[in-house]
């Protein structure tokens, strides 16, 4: 049989990857198995999966209970449609479970296969919500710069990272991007939001969509008063407030949903990733009773929106088992506790290093910023490729993590599985510390 690396080059177009790099260097690693926080590749290298793969393997790798749940459901009913009001028990039970876990007043769920579909659905549902109330001009969607919401049509457009628009453009006229409160103040971010709404006219704006903590933007945790202030503005101007909980949902930030950290209740919430810990694709949108009531009263014909896999029975059965594990093993509390350990470790790394700027974490999602001068936050020259070098140094030390270099920032992102123990957290910190010291030496900067 041909070498897997050669076959990969010939036949596999990788998502969000450089095709040139793949052709030159081959796949970065071909992963064969996973167990807990660890994954192993074809060369028997074992890595700490320090971003839970794509911020999604919340319960860790190798949980046979989920395989059994899928097996059991597939034997009984692998797939059945939910179109035209056909229904089945796994989707009904999962919708009820998600309603129970969601903030107060969010009780009805539309299912999808992932985050992009969920955000596209949220955009379409919010436009439909206004249209059926005789406000068809309320169509524009506001989101944040550096926000990441996916790669389908609407979700590409709400994503605030312009590189994602280069491939095929985006529908500029109906999508607006406002300042993020990163390295800025709540006041400045709120004023720019308010001026945008005033300028565009609230009558033209359907919804604002926001990640409680921006993930792909570089783990940007908002200032404490920001999200409530945004929610107040949305209420004042009659704009729907949608939380993109695709990363933050299901325990990641030390609460079941990210918005709970700021006690802000959205009008709708999108989710994916952690709902099944990535064992099978699944996502959705939970909407408020108010939106649901408007739909019940006024959306009289067929709702012309649905995916073949909306409410997939096997995915729903896996999600139910995954949520059961999150609850039974108190993984939300563990995320909060281990998040504190992670942050303590980051702070120690900062103390010992001369290239670490801000460090932050909320639950088990955190970041370390690399800067030329931590006292002024002066950025490294992009030519130096400091993030890539550090990610490589981490890889060599058996840590898979993720770097963000957008807008001159050099950010290392971490989001290990929620099952991580204190000992494993210590091990992760020690490897990160070692990798950063190595890079410091390489570029000729170090504290001593």
Instruction: Give the footprint of ligand PLP on this chain (CB under 6 A).
Output: 54, 114-116, 119, 148-150, 211, 215-216, 244, 246-247, 272
Nearer to ligand PLP by Cβ, of 54 and 196: the residue is: 54
Q: How far is the CB of 16 from ligand PLP (least distance, A)?
A: 9
Q: Check residue 85 and report its DSSP letter.
A: G
Please identify which residue in the block is written with the tokens 């999600």. Answer: 319
Please say which residue, 53 or 410, places its beta carbon nearer to ligand PLP.
53
Q: Distance (Å, rounded) from C-alpha 416 to C-alpha 304? A: 39
CB atoms within 10 A of CB 46: 11
The number of residues making up the chain comes to: 448
Q: Strands 46-49 and 366-370: what pairing?
A: unpaired
In the complex with ligand PLP, the residue whose CB is nearer, 244 or 267, is 244
Among residues 60 and 147, whose Cβ is nearest to ligand PLP?
Answer: 147
- Which of residues 217 and 357 has its CB atom nearest to ligand PLP in the complex? 217
- State the minimum distance, in angstroms, from the CB of residue 404 to ligand PLP: 12
140: which residues sit within 8 A by CB, 6+ positions away? 174, 175, 176, 200, 204, 205, 206
Q: State which residue, 37 or 220, has the beta carbon closest to ligand PLP.
A: 220
Burial 359-374 (b: 16+ CB within 10 A, else e): bbbbbbbbbbbbbbeb
Q: Which residue is nearest to ligand PLP (CB)?
A: 115
Are residues 218 and 413 in contact, defined by beta-carbon separation less than 8 angstroms?
A: yes
C-alpha 208/C-alpha 107 separation (Å) is: 20
CA atoms within 13 A on the CB side of 236: 11
Neighbours of 283 (CB within 10 A): 29
Give me the least distance between CB of 118 and ligand PLP, in Å please: 7
Q: Considering beta carbons, is residue 260 or 341 the nearer one to ligand PLP?
A: 260
Residue with tokens 């206004």: 130
Q: How far is the CB of 351 from ligand PLP (least distance, A)?
A: 31
Burial letters for 207-232: b for 16+ Cβ neighbours within 10 Å, e otherwise? bbbbbbbbbbbbbbbbeeebbebbbe
Rounded Cα distance, 98 and 122, in Å = 16
Given the complex with ligand PLP, which of 287 and 349 has the nearer CB atom?
Answer: 287
CB 384 to ligand PLP: min, Å: 27
Helix (H) or strand (E) holding 370: strand 366-370
Q: Shortest gap between Cβ of 51 and ligand PLP (angstroms)? A: 10
Cα separation values, 52 from 24, 220, 311, 440, Å:
27, 18, 24, 26
Min separation Cβ 10 and ligand PLP, Å: 25
Nearer to ligand PLP, 115 or 417 (CB): 115
Q: Kindly state the smallest distance separating residue 216's Cβ from ligand PLP, in Å.
A: 5
Nearest approach, Cβ of residue 50 and ligand PLP (Å): 16
């Amino acid at each position: 049989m041909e070498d897997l690396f050669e076959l990969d080059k010939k036949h596999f177009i990788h998502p969000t990857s450089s095709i040139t790099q793949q052709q030159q260097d081959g796949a970065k690693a071909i992963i064969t198995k996973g167990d807990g926080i660890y994954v192993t590749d074809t060369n028997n290298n074992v890595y700490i999966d320090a971003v839970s793969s794509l911020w999604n393997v919340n319960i860790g790798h190798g949980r046979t209970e989920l395989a059994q749940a899928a097996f059991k459901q597939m034997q009984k009913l692998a797939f059945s449609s939910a179109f035209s009001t056909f229904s089945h028990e796994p989707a009904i039970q999962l919708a009820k479970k998600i309603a129970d876990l969601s903030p107060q007043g969010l009780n009805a769920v539309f299912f999808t296969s992932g985050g992009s579909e969920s955000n596209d659905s949220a955009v379409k549902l919010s436009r439909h919500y206004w249209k059926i109330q005789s406000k068809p001009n309320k169509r524009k969607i506001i989101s944040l710069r550096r926000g990441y919401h996916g790669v389908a049509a609407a979700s590409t457009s709400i994503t605030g990272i312009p590189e994602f628009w280069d491939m095929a453009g985006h529908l500029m006229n109906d999508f607006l991007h406002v300042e993020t409160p990163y390295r800025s103040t709540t006041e400045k971010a709120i004023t720019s939001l308010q001026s945008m709404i005033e300028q565009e006219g609230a009558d033209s704006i359907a919804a604002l969509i926001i990640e409680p903590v921006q993930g792909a933007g570089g783990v940007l945790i908002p200032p404490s008063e920001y999200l409530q202030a945004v929610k107040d503005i949305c209420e004042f101007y009659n704009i729907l407030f949608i939380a993109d909980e695709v990363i933050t949902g299901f325990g990641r930030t030390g609460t079941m949903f990210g918005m709970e950290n700021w006690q802000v209740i959205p009008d709708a919430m999108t989710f994916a990733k952690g709902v099944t810990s990535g064992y099978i694709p699944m996502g959705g949108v939970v909407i408020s009773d108010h939106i649901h009531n408007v739909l019940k009263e006024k959306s009289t014909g067929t709702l012309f929106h649905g995916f073949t896999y909306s409410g997939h029975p096997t995915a729903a059965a896996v999600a139910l088992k995954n949520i059961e594990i999150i609850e039974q093993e108190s993984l939300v509390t563990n995320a909060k506790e281990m998040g504190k350990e992670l942050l303590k470790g980051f702070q120690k790394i900062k103390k010992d290093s001369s290239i670490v700027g801000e460090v932050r974490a909320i639950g088990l999602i955190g970041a370390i910023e690399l800067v030329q001068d931590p006292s002024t936050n002066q950025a490294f020259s992009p030519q130096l490729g400091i993030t890539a070098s550090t990610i490589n140094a981490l890889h060599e030390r058996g840590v898979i993590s993720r770097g963000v270099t957008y807008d001159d920032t050099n950010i290392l992102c971490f989001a290990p599985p929620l099952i991580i123990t204190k000992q494993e957290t210590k091990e992760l910190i020690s490897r990160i510390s070692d990798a950063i010291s190595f890079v410091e030496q390489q570029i000729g900067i170090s504290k001593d």
